[in-house]
Amino acid sequence: MLELLRTRYPALLALFAQILAVLAIALALWGLAGLGSWRPTLWQAAMAQGVLAATLGQWLGLKRWWLLLNLLFMPALLAVQARQWPAWWFLAAFLVLLLVNWNSFREQVPLYLSGARTRQQLSRRLAQLPNNFTFVDLGCGLGGTLVQLARDYPAARLVGVETAPLVFVLAWLRCLLYGNCQVRYRSLWREDLAAYDAVYCFLSPAPMAELWAKVRREMRPGSLLISNSFEVPGVAAQEVIELNDWRGSRLLLWRL
């Protein structure tokens, strides 16, 4: 059960850690009230709750970025409340976060952006393909990879698919300037991979096994799967390109 929550519903585990931390801090404050005159400030209590929530999240096996959210959630909420911002701001902020991180909740794929070094190395590797190669970016984010390749390979046919609404709109607008590039509002699971010479993705560990099964069903012999950093469980990459960036990223390649 815990493994299912960790891989499929990490937001529920993060919420569980938050609730446990709130209850634990509330119990500790109640205990301190009967022991002496010292009382922690609201900020001290919020920081203690954040540290405890992050610690619980680590114990539950959450990814690092969830730990950061758990650490900062309560202090950030307190900071916003202290500024007495209008109620509509909370709704607006929530909607923006939802539109940007839609895939985090539906498919366990947070918004990862390929860095400049990654885009350059990917472009160099694709130079080994014919000039008119077909390429799809599964979860294209803001479209930076597509724009780079559209400039480098004007004869190629480039497609990006994205389902986070706000991110899709921004990527679609960026790619309007390039005739060989288009962005579709479509789940990566609905995109037919048989049409492409190269498939690129920067997802998360959660969907890689299922993606590999889709790749094996649909991609043509000789076509190329390229994953930024995330491995296919139990299937060693045939080629690895180290990117030497601050994230320790690498391009993992499989030829079907």
What does the DSSP assignment read for 98-166? HHHSHHHHHTS-------HHHHHHHHHHHTTS-TT-EEEEET-TTSHHHHHHHHH-TTSEEEEEE--HH
Q: State the pLDDT at residue 237.
A: 94
Q: State the pLDDT at residue 219.
A: 96
Q: State the pLDDT at residue 34.
A: 66
Distance in angstroms (rounded) separating the CA atoms of residues 179 and 175: 8
* Residues in Cβ contact with 14 at an 8 Å cutoff, skipping those fewer than 6 apart: 57, 62, 66, 69, 70
Q: State the pLDDT at residue 97.
A: 57
Contact predicate 184/141, CB 8 Å: no
Residues of the chain with pLDDT under 70: 1-11, 34-38, 63-66, 80-113, 246-247
Tell how many helices (H) and how many strands (E) occur in the chain. Answer: 10, 7
State whether CATH 3.30.1490.100 applies to domain 116-255. Answer: no
Say which residue the tokens 């939802």 belong to. Answer: 98
* pLDDT tens for each residue of 71-120: 877 777 777 666 655 655 555 555 555 555 555 555 555 556 677 888 99
Q: State the pLDDT at residue 5.
A: 54
- pTM of full prediction above 0.75: no
Q: State the pLDDT at residue 58.
A: 83
Contact predicate 228/114, CB 8 Å: yes
So where are the chain's domains?
Answer: 2-84, 116-255
CA dihedral 102, 104, 107, 108 (to 10 degrees): 180
- 3-class secondary-structure state, position 238: coil
According to DSSP, residue 235 is labeled: B
Distance in angstroms (rounded) separating the CA atoms of residues 234 and 249: 19
Q: State the pLDDT at residue 149.
A: 96
